[in-house]
Structure 1
Amino acid sequence: MVKEIFDFGLLKEFLNNFPVVINAMSGVTGPYVRRIFQEDLCSGNPKSTFLNTEPLPDFGGHHPDPNLTYAADLVKILKENPELYQFGAAYDGDGDRNMLLGAGGFFVTPSDALAVLAANLTTIPYFVKTGVKGLARSMPTSGAVDRVGKKLGLNVYEVPTGWKYFGNLMDAGKLSLCGEESFGTGSDHIREKDGVWASLAFLSVLANKKIGVKELLENHWKEFGRNYFLRLDYENVDGEKANKMIADLENKLKSTNPETLTQEIVNAAKESGAAAAPEKYKIAFTDNFEYTDPVDASVAKGQGLRLVFENGFGRLVWRLSGTGSSGATVRVYLEKCDDVSVLGVTLDSLKDLVEISLKLTSLHEVLGVTGPTVIT
C-alpha cells in the first residue's frame, strides 16, 4: 500500500544521504519499521538506526507513548548526534500515533506537522491522483492547518477529539488529511490515524524539497505565520477535585463580567513578565465546545472549555479525561498566533498564557500539584 501512496524511488535516494532514527517503542510497528525502513528505504545508508523493533507484550517495561517524555531514548540520540542524524520518528504501541523530530532533537508539534503536510500534499503521488478534498483537525489542535486551508482554498473542519468524526467526513468524500495534537495524523487511505504513513509523508516533503526538518518548518512559518502551541498534561490527579475545578472554571467563564475577566487576565499576564496591554487580551468569546456533524447531524456537547481572544491573538482550552476518584487527567492547551516573530521559543512565547491559565483555574492549589506531568 505505501509503495502505491509514496514515491519510494525518491525516498530511497534521499535517505541514502539522510540518516534517520526510528523508534518502534516495542510496539506493533516493529516489523513494519524493519521491512519498510531498514530493509528497503534505508538499506543504502548504514548510519540509520532502528530502536525497539521487537514487539513485546509489556513494551519492554516502558510507556509506549511517542512524546518527549516517554520516547526519551530517541530524543537523547538525536541531541547527542546533531551532525549525524537528520530525522527521528517514534510510534506508540498500536502504531497509530507518531512523534517527529529533526536534527539535534528539533521537535515538530503534531499541529505543525499537520499544517506542513497540508501545504505540501501535492508532493505525494497518492494526492496527485485523488486530489485534495478537504482538511480537518480536532478542536484542541492548533489552527496552523487553518492558515494553510485558507491560503489554498480548502475547507478545514474543526471536530471534537475522536477519530470517528474524521471518519464521517472521509466517508462523505469531504476529507483527505486530518490530525490531532495528541500525535495522531492520517489521510483517507484508511479510516484511521497511521504513524508509519505520517512519517513517510513528512519524509516525502523533505525529499521533494531536499532540505532538513528545521529549515522546512521555519520556511513554513515565514510563509504562513506561526501558531505557538503547548499542551500541559496533569496525569493521575484526583477525579473529584478535577471535576470541581473544571465546573468552577466553566461557571466563572459564563458568569464573570467580560471586563472583570479581562482585567484578571491582564494582571496574570503582568505577573509572567509580559507587556500586558489590556486590548491585547480582549476576549472574543468563551464556551464549552459543541459540534454538529455536517454528515449525520449528530451533536457532541461539552467537548472542552475555550477562552478565545480577539483579533486571532490566541486561545486557552481545558479538557478533562477520566472522572474516577483517581487516574483523571487534566489537559491544558495554550495557543498564540504570530505572523511576524515566527522563530521564537515556544515556552517563552507562551509564558503569559501559562500564567493566565494557572490564575484562572487555581490549578496547582486545587489539584495539589506543582507542575505538569508531561509537556508537549
Structure 2
Amino acid sequence: MTEFVIEQVATTPFEGQKPGTSGLRKRTTVFQQKHYTANFVQALLDSIPEGAKDAHLVVGGDGRYYSDEAIQIIARLAAANGVRKLTVAHRGILSTPAGSHLIRKLKATGGILLTASHNPGGPDNDFGIKYNGANGGPAPEAVTDAIYRRTTQLTHYAQADLPPIDITTLGTTAFGGGCFEVEVVDGVAAYVELMKSVYDLEAIKQFLRSRPDFTVLFDAMGGVTGPYFRALFVQELGFPADCCMNAEPSPDFGGHHPDPNLTYAKDLVARVEAENVAFAAASDGDGDRNMIIGKGCFVNPSDSIAVLAAYAPTMPYFARSGVKGVARSMPTSGALDRVAKKHGWPFHETPTGWKFFGNLMDAGQCSLCGEESFGTGSDHIREKDGVWAVLGWLSILAAAQQKAGPEVKVGLKTILDRHYAEYGRNYFSRYDYEEVDGEQAAAMMARLRAMVAPEGRSTTLADQSPFAPYTLKDCDDFHYVDPIDGSVAEKQGVRFLFADGSRIIFRLSGTGSQGATIRVYVEAYEATRVDLEPQTALKDLIQVALRVSQLQEFTGRKVPTVIT
C-alpha cells in the first residue's frame, strides 16, 4: 500500500465554470490552464449531495485528448477529499451509457465522465467533465448550480501526492493504508451483459442468417463505441470484422467531428450509397447518440423513437417490465405522441436534457424516451444510448421479418412505410447555425421572446402576414414544471404553433464550447401524403421560420452549418 501526503494548493476562481445541460465544456486549452481542471473537480467533489467522504465514484470517458491527465488529477483530488474508491475504466474508455450502467450496477455514489459528447476532440478542440448521480443520470440543476457556486468561492483545493495511476492494467491498487483504492475494470463487459438481457440476440442472429443479402456497416467515428461494436456486433452477433469503420478510439477522433448526422458522417453516407448497404449506423464520441440509415433511407431521430416505442412490446425487456409511459423533448416531433395515444400510454413533453427523463424514469412514469438530436433511450439506464438504439432497430427488423415470412424481404424502408401508413407522418427538420456570435444570437432570441407573452399568445401578433400561408394559433416560450420534484425550467424555446398542427421553434443550444448555436426546428404533419421529400414538404414553413426570426439579419448567416 502506498502512503500519501495531502497538500492544500492555493488557487483563485476562474470565470465561466458553469456546467451546461451535459457538464462543463470548453476548449482543451482552457482545461489545460494551471489549476483550471483541479478547481472544477474540487468544486464538484464539494457539491456531491452525499458528500465526497467515503464516496465510490466511477471514472471514464470517450478517450479524447487530455483524458489521461484529467484522470490523474481526479485521482489525486479524490484521495485528498476522502473518497473511498474510484472505479476507473480500462484506458479510461467508457461510453456515457455504459458509465450510467456501471454506476447503477455497482451502486456507486456517482460518476465523473470525461466527455464533450459529439464535439470534436484534440489539442485545439473540446474537452468536458460531467457529473452523474447515484441513479446513473446527469446531475440535476440543483447539483450543477451548487458546483458553479462553489467554483466562484474556491481559495484552495486539496490533492494527494499519489504516484501516476496505471489505467492500462486491470486490478485494484490501495493507497493511504487502504483508505483509498483505485480499481481498473473492463469498461465494455458489463454493458455487453446488460444488452444481452435487454434484447433477444439469438433472434437477431437468426434474422441475419436468413438474410445473407442484408449488408451492414457501423461507424464509431473514432469515438468510444468501437470496442462496444466489436464486442456486440462482431463477437456476439457474428458480423464480419470489417463491418466497423473508425473503430479504434482516438484522442482526436481520427480527425472526425464525431456527431452522427448526414453532414458529419458523410464517409458512412457515401459508402452506404456506393455499396448498397441495407443497414448502417453511426454513433457519437461518447456513444449516447445514434444515426440509422440504409440505401436510399434515412431514419429521422424523431421517427426513430416513435418506431422503437411502437415495437417495444416485441422486445424482451419491455415484455418483462411493461411500458410505463413515454416522453420526448419539446423540440422533437409529435410522432411519438401518436404512438402513445394508440397504445394508451402516459405521455410527457420535457425540455431538452436527459435529466428530465431521468426524473420520470426514477418515479416509474417513463420507459422510453427520445430527443430529435439523435438521442434515444429507455429506463434500462439513465442516459441516452446509441448502441441500445442500433440493437433496437435490428430487433425490430428481426421481428418484422419473422412476421412477414421468407417470401418478403424486410428493410428499413419497409418499417418506416408501414409506420407512416398507420400513424401518418410528421415531417421534421432542424437547422443548426453553429458558433454564431453570442450577442447576436441573444438579441435574436430576445426579439422572439418579446413577440410572445408568458401565458400563450400575445396581442402583438395580431398581424398574421409574416406567417402566411400558415395561420398562427398560439405561441409561447416553453416552460416546464417537473411533475416529480416541482422544479421549474423556463425559457426553453420560443414556439409558434399553427392551426394545421405545424410548428416552428427557436432555441439556443447549451452543448457548444464557444459562441452560440442557434437551432431552428420545423415540423408539419400529413395523415396521407407520407411519401414526400422532407425538405420539399417543409419548404414553405422553413421560409416562414427564417422570415419571422430575421436570422440572417441578426447573424449574417445565409445557410445553416448542419441540416438534419
Q: TM-score over 0.5 for the alignment?
A: yes
Match of 1:301 among 490, 509, 512: 490
Aligned-partner Cα distance in 2 for 1:120–1:191:
21
The equivalent of 1:102 in structure 2 is 294
Are 1:241 and 2:432 counterparts? no
Residues 230 and 241 of structure 2 are in contact (CA less than 8 Å); yes or no, is this contact kept in structure 1? no
The equivalent of 1:4 in structure 2 is 197
| Cα shift at 1:47 | 9.2
Are 1:151 and 2:342 counterparts? yes
| Cα shift at 1:322 | 5.4
Task: List aligned pairs for 1:243-322, cutoff 5 A.
Answer: 243-254=442-453, 255=458, 257-260=460-463, 262-266=464-468, 276=469, 281-312=470-501, 314-321=502-509
Q: Percent identity?
A: 55
Task: List aligned pairs for 1:105-144, cutoff 5 A.
Answer: 106-144=297-335
Match of 2:221 among 25, 28, 52: 25
Match of 1:337 among 505, 525, 541: 525
Residues 243 and 323 of structure 1 are in contact (CA less than 8 Å); yes or no, is this contact kept in structure 2? no
Residues 24 and 53 of structure 1 are in contact (CA less than 8 Å); yes or no, is this contact kept in structure 2? yes
Give the alignment's Cα RMSD to 1 decimal.
1.7
User: 1:329-356 deviations in whole A, cap 9, x for unaligned?
Assistant: 1000000011010111100000111100
Aligned-partner Cα distance in 2 for 1:300–1:123:
35
Residues 239 and 325 of structure 1 are in contact (CA less than 8 Å); yes or no, is this contact kept in structure 2? no
Are 1:372 and 2:564 counterparts? no
Q: Which runs of 5+ in 1 are unaligned?
A: 267-275
Residues 87 and 102 of structure 1 are in contact (CA less than 8 Å); yes or no, is this contact kept in structure 2? yes
Match of 1:79 among 258, 268, 273: 273
| Cα shift at 1:364 | 1.2
Q: 1:324/1:96 Cα in 2 relative to 1: closer, same or farther (>3 Å)?
A: closer
Give the letter for the 2:260 counterpart.
P
| Cα shift at 1:13 | 1.6
Are 1:226 and 2:463 counterparts? no
Aligned-partner Cα distance in 2 for 1:323–1:121:
30
| Cα shift at 1:4 | 0.9
Match of 1:194 among 385, 401, 406: 385
Aligned-partner Cα distance in 2 for 1:310–1:329:
29
The equivalent of 1:35 in structure 2 is 231
Q: Report the secondary structure of 2:384's partner residue.
A: coil
Give the letter for the 1:245 counterpart.
M
User: 1:252-301 deviations in whole A, cap 9, x for unaligned?
Assistant: 344554441x22211xxxxxxxxx3xxxx222211000001111111111
Q: 1:293/1:339 Cα in 2 relative to 1: closer, same or farther (>3 Å)?
A: same
The equivalent of 2:103 in structure 1 is none
Bigger relative contact order (CA 8 A; separation at least 6): 1
Q: 1:38/1:47 Cα in 2 relative to 1: closer, same or farther (>3 Å)?
A: closer
User: 1:141-188 deviations in whole A, cap 9, x for unaligned?
Assistant: 001000000111011100000110000000000011001001111000
The equivalent of 1:15 in structure 2 is 208
Q: Report the secondary structure of 2:431's partner residue.
A: strand
Aligned-partner Cα distance in 2 for 1:182–1:328:
17
Are 1:347 and 2:535 counterparts? yes
What is the TM-score with the length of structure 2 in the denominator? 0.61
What is the TM-score with the length of structure 1 in the denominator? 0.91
Residues 19 and 47 of structure 1 are in contact (CA less than 8 Å); yes or no, is this contact kept in structure 2? no
Aligned-partner Cα distance in 1 for 2:337–2:513:
38
Structure 1 stretches of 4+ with a deviation exceeding 6 A read: none
The equivalent of 1:57 in structure 2 is 251
Aligned-partner Cα distance in 2 for 1:291–1:325:
26
The equivalent of 1:271 in structure 2 is none
Give the letter for the 1:131 counterpart.
G
Aligned-partner Cα distance in 2 for 1:311–1:207:
36
Aligned-partner Cα distance in 2 for 1:171–1:324:
28
Residues 234 and 241 of structure 2 are in contact (CA less than 8 Å); yes or no, is this contact kept in structure 1? no
The equivalent of 1:206 in structure 2 is 397
Q: 1:59/1:332 Cα in 2 relative to 1: closer, same or farther (>3 Å)?
A: same
Q: Which runs of 5+ in 2 are unaligned?
A: 1-193, 402-409
Q: Report the secondary structure of 1:76's partner residue.
A: helix
Give the letter for the 1:91 counterpart.
S
Aligned-partner Cα distance in 1 for 2:514–2:232:
41
Residues 291 and 300 of structure 1 are in contact (CA less than 8 Å); yes or no, is this contact kept in structure 2? yes
Higher share in helix: 1
Give the letter for the 1:299 counterpart.
V
Aligned-partner Cα distance in 2 for 1:127–1:218:
24
Give the letter for the 1:32 counterpart.
Y
Residues 451 and 460 of structure 2 are in contact (CA less than 8 Å); yes or no, is this contact kept in structure 1? no
| Cα shift at 1:213 | 0.3
Residues 96 and 194 of structure 1 are in contact (CA less than 8 Å); yes or no, is this contact kept in structure 2? yes
